[in-house]
């Protein structure tokens, strides 16, 4: 049964007429957001700038858009280019009592949150969780990172940034275009005018902003939950039909992906960051259980060991990586004695 929040989110993306009643509150929200931005811009609130480049990946809307897969792609790309990236996260849903929290093999999803745990597993780069983004950034510097990627950090203005990337769901877009609580927007659409790039996840069903890039989430393998064994997409390592659980921003995306793979599934959608109970993963039949990678980090020890995880990765269009490399090249300059990555220093941070 859907909760109030899920029903409201569906209404906001569908543009339900009753949301007009909330527009007076939307005005108050927009004014609060504007005052906060002005306070940071005017120096009334402190902004900390790291001595290395900072890339922020975020969105304007509530609900999942595909930010985390893009973050994983970014740090893999940066590593291949010779950088030593680190990921900074708020760690939504985590219950750690002390920050900053550097995620390691012993850190559970309950401590750090599902997305930081997933990103640490997928990328192998340092991941730090801290609601205080500047403090978390300093922790990443201490472990040797020379470029930082802030996951879901668009509205965390206390940390200065060099590049802002906004990810948009190609199906849902910006909903009814209204701010909270009359719509799904965290900030007005005019905010897009100040970001560096917009990346649309999937084929857009709306008029995309000028210059926007596209990406798609591509399934790459099945992974058995119990022992981590990875197997190719075909042939299927299990017999269909299956039970499919998804506690992500838009569960329908996962179910659509399964359908595209020819997997007949009985869908079980949950809210984003859902904290599973074992009884929610137990079914009275022999159908296999499949789930997303984000769900898997919370279902270890709860779901049957023979459950399967669908691994996906972001595939941005070629033009995006070219654009990114060009922008990063402007942030650094080669030292006279070398053109290698090790000989570059951030020009925008020099005194």
pLDDT at res. 334: 61
DSSP 232-254: -SSS-SSPSSEEEEE-SS-HHHH
**349: confidence class by pLDDT, cuts 50, 70, 90:** very low
Asked if residue 294 has pLDDT above 60, the reply is: yes
Give residue-wise pLDDT tens across range 59-99: 999 988 999 999 999 999 999 999 999 999 988 778 877 89
Helical residues (DSSP H) of the chain, grouped into ranges: 4-14, 23-41, 67-80, 109-112, 114-123, 133-142, 251-260, 293-299, 318-331
Would you place residue 350 in the very low, low, confident or very high pLDDT band (cuts 50, 70, 90)?
very low
Residues 89-148 have pLDDT tens digits of 988 778 877 899 999 999 999 999 999 999 999 999 999 999 999 999 999 999 999 999
Q: In the prediction, which pLDDT does 339 show?
A: 41
pTM: 0.91
- Cα separation, 101 vs 154, in Å, equals 21
> Under the phi-then-psi rule, with left for phi > 0, alpha for psi from -120 to 50, and beta for the rest, what region is 148?
beta
- Evaluate if residue 297 carries a pLDDT over 50: yes
Q: By mean pLDDT, which of 33-37, 284-288, 308-312, 329-333 is the weakest?
A: 329-333
Please tell me whether residue 330 adopts helix, strand or coil conformation.
Answer: helix
Domains located in the chain, CATH noted: 4-211+317-349 (3.40.50), 217-314 (no CATH)
> When comparing pLDDT for 100 and 342, which is higher?
100
| pLDDT over 90 at 204, yes or no | yes
């Amino acid at each position: 049964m859907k909760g109030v929040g899920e029903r409201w989110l569906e209404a906001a993306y569908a543009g339900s007429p009753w949301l007009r009643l909330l527009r007076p509150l939307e005005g108050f929200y927009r004014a609060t957001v504007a005052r906060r931005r002005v306070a940071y811009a005017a120096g009334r609130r402190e902004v900390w700038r790291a001595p290395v480049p900072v890339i922020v990946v975020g969105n304007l809307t509530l609900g999942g858009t595909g930010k985390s897969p893009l973050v994983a792609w970014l740090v893999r790309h940066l590593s291949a280019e010779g950088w030593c990236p680190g990921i900074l996260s708020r760690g939504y849903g985590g219950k750690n009592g002390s920050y900053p929290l550097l995620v390691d093999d012993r850190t559970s999803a309950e401590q750090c949150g599902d997305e930081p745990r997933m990103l640490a597993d997928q990328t192998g780069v340092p991941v730090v969780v801290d609601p205080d983004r500047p403090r978390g950034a300093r922790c990443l510097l201490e472990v040797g990172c020379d470029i930082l990627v802030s996951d879901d950090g668009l509205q965390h203005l206390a940390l200065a940034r060099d590049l802002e990337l906004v990810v948009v769901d190609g199906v849902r877009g910006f909903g009814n275009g209204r701010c909270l609580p009359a719509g799904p927007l965290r900030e007005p659409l005019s905010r897009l005018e100040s970001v560096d790039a917009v990346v649309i996840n999937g084929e857009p069903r709306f008029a995309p902003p000028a210059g926007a890039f596209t990406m798609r989430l591509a399934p790459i393998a099945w992974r058995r939950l119990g022992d981590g064994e990875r197997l190719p997409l075909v042939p299927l390592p299990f017999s269909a039909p299956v039970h499919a659980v998804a506690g992500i921003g838009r569960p329908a995306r996962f179910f659509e992906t399964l359908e595209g793979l020819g997997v007949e599934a009985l869908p079980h959608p949950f809210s984003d960051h859902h904290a599973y109970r074992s009884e929610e993963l137990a079914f009275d039949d022999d159908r296999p259980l499949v789930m997303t990678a984000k769900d898997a980090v919370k279902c270890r020890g709860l779901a049957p060991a023979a459950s399967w995880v669908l691994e996906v990765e972001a595939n941005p269009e070629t033009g995006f990586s070219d654009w990114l490399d060009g922008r990063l090249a402007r942030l650094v300059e080669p030292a006279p004695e070398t053109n290698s990555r090790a000989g570059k220093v951030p020009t925008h941070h020099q005194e």
